[in-house]
Structure 1
Amino acid sequence: MLITFTRSRFCIAPLDVIKIRLQLQIHSLSDPTSIRGIDGPVYKGTLGTLKQILREEGLTGLWKGNIPAEAMYLMYGAIQFSAYTHASHALNDLPSPYKLPDSANSFISGALAGACATTTTYPLDLLRTRFAAQGKDRVYFSILSSVRQIATTEGLPGFFRGLGAGVSQIVPYMGLFFAGYEALKPVLSKDVVPLPFGSSDAVSGVVASVLAKTAVYPLDTTRKRLQVQGPTRSQYVHRNIPLYKGVISTVGRIWKNEGRRGMYRGLTVSLMKAAPASAVTMWTYERTMGVLTSMDEKLKEV
């Protein structure tokens, strides 16, 4: 399973790089005055960004930041589902007067699991973003050197820049995702809408992911802008990334200067990446839980 997950993550890595480049681009394509004098690339859409990265940085440019991303997703998935299962069971075991509705149970369990996994793996997420933000002029030359450089110049807080935006995003995202998934799964089950090979789990994961991701996407853009703050801010592929401080202030400045488009840059490619990943994740999760439950029942019989 880990090998399959690693291969799938490797395949979607270029989409991650494209999304991050678009999110960090502050100049508006509809306003020519914002492009004049820009020392850096001007990306236009998913396909245009792909072509430009290939032309200027070569094929390897599409896999920048993939190593910390691989480590992050492996750790994140393990922590997320472990926390979700424990939280869900704990809430289900509450006595009658305090028992929550299933939708509230799913939302709270998902939110807690997301916050726990995000905080634990955040330094890897930050490294992924910074490597993906590098152009032809490299800021960091290896994972080890990047860790040393951040630790020396920014200290421990440097590894957690934008964590507030990350948690603010992931708590409602995971809550909405799991609540939506648990609500959709029975509707799309074989008794209501026949789907082959248990694919109702996959379809429910796709729909829940698209809805939740779209709802909280501005906070994802905010997180990316905050992650590249620090002494190396002007050395990334976009040389004109402003100085941001705080989640609310950053959201306000992006909305004021770039409007709704600025908040949602890269959403299309983000959904292209997240939807199939959610489908595979939830299908695999349900199959794995089914096997483990069956094994547990057989052991109890023995």
Structure 2
Amino acid sequence: MSASKAQVNSSSSPAAPPANYEQARLFISQPFVASFCAGGIAGAVSRTVVSPLERLKILFQVQSAGRDEYKLSVGKALKKMWQEEGWRGFMRGNGTNCIRIVPYSAVQFGSYNFYKRNIFEDSPNADLSPLARLTCGGMAGITSVTFTYPLDIVRTRLSIQSASFAALQKPRELPGMWATLAMMYRTEGGLPALYRGILPTIAGVAPYVGLNFMVYEHVRAYLTPEGDKHPDAMRKLLAGAVSGAVAQTCTYPFDVLRRRFQINTMSGMGYQYKSITDAIRVIIRQEGVKGLYKGIVPNLLKVAPSMAANWLSFEMSRDFFVSLRPTEEVALR
């Protein structure tokens, strides 16, 4: 009887989780890993939410002087895109963008957490000065761009190759991401072709990411009720929208330069820039100063929901991963 009772008791008691499961929970709840994984999720969510406006911004940016295929209002341009390509046009390049943005955003948030904790913080969870946040964010932006830039240039190519630019030769069958990568590598100069335009990209991304982190953390702290470390979702959404709008407006001309250089070798687009200064000079001469801000309207329309979704999904995902820690809670800012 005693043996059978012992058997019943052992079968009724819940089985202890396996050691490898506990180790996995411990690993993913580490501050750097939690930020890395949450950053990837946040990037995919935020880009998918605003994919039509993201593509429209690129079409506006790459249209040179004298071309008017997309010299339209945002509403009419979206309607044109829908009539010509349907819902696929709204999502053109988004798959590649998500493949790019998941590691990009993951590296960005993960490296920001790493630099913050290991370089800029005097003590754990210490508040950083605005300059330190700006510098830390800039370093994180440079790190993420360096790792994922080839996917960004391919996303730009995929976004415009089916658009109705009159002088642009459309292939009979639109190539995918890997085919475009291979074609650029083979026909446009090897590895350097996959990093064309990275200098204006870094020049814009470093201050953009730095401003984004600095403004978000400042606005988030301002909106947080006194004595409360975690504001509600609406306050996080507002902080994300404000930080994205400020950062994008301040650094937008660099984004235009990045797009122009990414397709600088494509025939039919109307420009062949020799350098960053040459590009700025030619754009201002032919298109005026407003040429450096082409596409900013759909960009500002997308940046508020995009960055709001980005920061909210990041914090929710990060907090979830941190909560998986089996033995103790880790407080993350």
TM over 0.5: yes
TM range (shorter): 0.7 to 0.9
2:102 counterpart of 1:70: no
Shift of 1:26: 1.8
- Per the alignment, residue 59 of structure 2 pairs with 21
2:201–2:254: 8 Å Cα contact kept in structure 1? yes
Shift of 1:42: 4.0
| Bigger Rg, which one | 2
1:91–1:100: 8 Å Cα contact kept in structure 2? no
Report Cα offsets for 1:47-105 as digits up to 9, x if no partner.
Answer: 1211222333344223221221010111111111100000011234459xxx9952122
3-state SS of paired residue (1:241): coil
Q: Which deviates more from structure 2 when the two are superposed, residues 150-159 or residues 178-187? A: 178-187
- Return the match for 2:170 from 122, 138, 159: 138
Q: 1:192 to 1:20 in 2, by over 3 A?
A: farther
Question: Residue type matched to 2:252 in 1?
Answer: Y
2:41–2:102: 8 Å Cα contact kept in structure 1? no
Report Cα offsets for 1:200-244 as digits up to 9, x if no partner.
Answer: 2221111111011001001100100000022xx12xxxx343111
Q: CA RMSD in A?
A: 2.9
3-state SS of paired residue (1:274): helix
Q: 1:142 to 1:285 in 2, by over 3 A?
A: closer
Shift of 1:293: 5.1
Report Cα offsets for 1:145-164 as digits up to 9, x if no partner.
Answer: 21221111121111111000
Question: Residue type matched to 2:253 in 1?
Answer: P
1:91–1:105: 8 Å Cα contact kept in structure 2? no
Q: Distance in 2 between matches of 1:109 and 1:7?
A: 24
2:120–2:136: 8 Å Cα contact kept in structure 1? no
Report Cα offsets for 1:226-282 as digits up to 9, x if no partner.
Answer: 00022xx12xxxx34311122222122212221122111111111222221211222
- Per the alignment, residue 50 of structure 1 pairs with 78
Segments ≥4 residues shifted beyond 6 Å: 1-5
Q: Which deviates more from structure 2 when the two are superposed, residues 257-266 or residues 124-133? A: 257-266
Q: Distance in 2 between matches of 1:151 and 1:88?
A: 36
3-state SS of paired residue (1:120): helix
Q: Highest relative contact order (Cα 8 Å, sep 6+), 1 or 2?
A: 2
1:24–1:241: 8 Å Cα contact kept in structure 2? no
- Per the alignment, residue 10 of structure 2 pairs with none
TM-score norm. by structure 2 comes to 0.75
- Return the match for 1:91 from 115, 119, 133: 119
Q: Distance in 2 between matches of 1:158 and 1:5?
A: 25
- Per the alignment, residue 10 of structure 1 pairs with 48
Q: 1:4 to 1:111 in 2, by over 3 A?
A: closer
Shift of 1:12: 2.1
- Return the match for 2:187 from 129, 134, 153: 153
TM-score norm. by structure 1 comes to 0.83
Report Cα offsets for 1:98-124 as digits up to 9, x if no partner.
Answer: x99521221111101111111111111
Q: Can you give the 5+ residue segments of structure 2 that lack an aligned partner in the other structure?
A: 1-37
- Per the alignment, residue 215 of structure 2 pairs with 180
TM alignment of 1:89-128, pairs within 5 A = 89-94=117-122, 102-128=129-155
2:212–2:247: 8 Å Cα contact kept in structure 1? yes
Q: 1:261 to 1:244 in 2, by over 3 A?
A: same
Report Cα offsets for 1:116-135 as digits up to 9, x if no partner.
Answer: 11111111110110111113
Q: 1:102 to 1:291 in 2, by over 3 A?
A: farther
Q: Distance in 2 between matches of 1:61 and 1:120?
A: 28
Report Cα offsets for 1:166-189 as digits up to 9, x if no partner.
Answer: 100000101111111122122111
Q: Distance in 2 between matches of 1:26 and 1:5?
A: 30
Q: Distance in 1 between matches of 2:296 and 2:227?
A: 32
Q: Can you give the 5+ residue segments of structure 1 that lack an aligned partner in the other structure?
A: 28-33
Q: Distance in 2 between matches of 1:43 and 1:221?
A: 16
Report Cα offsets for 1:23-42 as digits up to 9, x if no partner.
Answer: 11123xxxxxx4xxx5x724
Q: Distance in 1 between matches of 2:51 and 2:293?
A: 20
Q: 1:153 to 1:286 in 2, by over 3 A?
A: same
- Per the alignment, residue 316 of structure 2 pairs with 287
2:81–2:89: 8 Å Cα contact kept in structure 1? yes
3-state SS of paired residue (1:199): helix
